[in-house]
Amino acid sequence: MSGLLLGGRELAAAIRVETAERAAALTAAGTPPRLTVVVATDDEASAWYVRSIGTAAAKIGITCDVIELGGDADVATIRATLTRLSADDLVHGIILQTPLPAGATLEDLGGAIAVEKDVDGANPLSLGRLAAGLPAYPPATAAAVLALLDHHGVELAGRRAAVIGRSTVVGKPVAHLLLDRHATVTVCHSRTPDLAAVTATADILVAAAGRPGLVTAEHVKRGGVVVDVGTNPTPDGGLVGDADADSVAERAAGLTPVPGGVGPVTTALLLNHTVRAAAGRL
Ligand code: NAP
- For residue 249, the domain's CATH number is 3.40.50.720
Q: What is the DSSP letter of 48?
A: H
Burial class (CB in 10 A: 0-12, 13-18, 19+), 228: buried
**How many Cα atoms sit within 13 Å of 76 on the Cβ side?**
0
The rounded Cα 129 to chain-centroid distance in angstroms is: 17
Q: Is residue 7 part of a domain?
A: no
Domain holding 173, by residue range, is 140-260
The torsion region of residue 173 among left (phi > 0), alpha (psi -120 to 50) and beta comes to alpha
The answer on 174 and 96 residing in a single domain is no
94 and 156 both lie in a single domain:
no
In angstroms, what is the span from residue 27 Cα to ligand 1's centroid? 38
Same domain, 73 and 153: no
The confidence score (pLDDT) of residue 2 equals 55
Pair 129, 136: CB distance under 8 Å: yes
Ligand 1 in reach of 190 Cβ (< 6 A)? yes
Mutation to probe ligand 1, out of 163, 189, 205, 219 (largest number of atoms < 8 A from CB): 189
CA angle 57–60–63, rounded 5-degree value? 45
Calculate how far, in angstroms, residue 251's C-alpha sits from the geometric centre of ligand 1. Answer: 23
| Residue that finishes a domain, picked among 114, 130, 151 | 114
The answer to whether residue 268 sits within a structural domain is no
Q: Ligand 1: does its nearest atom lie under 6 Å from the Cβ of 165?
A: yes
Q: What is the pTM of this model?
A: 0.97
CA 278, CA 78: separation in Å to the nearest integer? Answer: 23
Report how far ligand 1's centroid is from the alpha carbon of 211 (Å). Answer: 7
Which of 42, 40, 45 is closest to 75 using CA atoms? 40
Residues 154 and 253 in one domain: yes
232 CA to middle of ligand 1, Å? 10
**Are residues 158 and 194 located together in one domain of the fold?**
yes
Ramachandran sector of residue 249 (left: φ over 0; alpha: ψ -120 to 50; beta: rest): alpha
Q: Looking at the 3D structure of the chain, how many domains does it have?
A: 2
Which CATH number fits the domain that encloses residue 51? 3.40.50.10860
Residues 107 and 183 in one domain: no
In a domain, 279, yes or no: no
Q: Residue 281: its pLDDT value, please?
A: 84
Angstrom CA distances, 33 to 1, 18, 19, 78, stand at 35, 14, 11, 23
Tens of pLDDT along the chain (282 residues)?
657 999 999 999 999 999 999 999 999 999 999 999 999 999 988 999 999 999 999 999 999 999 999 999 999 999 999 999 999 999 999 999 999 999 999 999 999 999 999 999 999 999 999 999 999 999 999 999 999 999 999 999 999 999 999 999 999 999 999 999 999 999 999 999 999 999 999 999 999 999 999 999 999 999 999 999 999 999 999 999 999 999 999 999 999 999 999 999 999 999 999 999 999 988
Q: What is the pLDDT of residue 191?
A: 98
Instruction: State if residue 166 touches ligand 1 by the CB under 6 angstroms criterion.
Output: yes
Atom of ligand 1 nearest to the CA of 140: 40
> In angstroms, rounded to a whole number, what is the distance separating the alpha carbons of residues 267 and 264?
5
- Predicted confidence at residue 278, as pLDDT, reads 98
Specify if 131 maps to a domain.
no
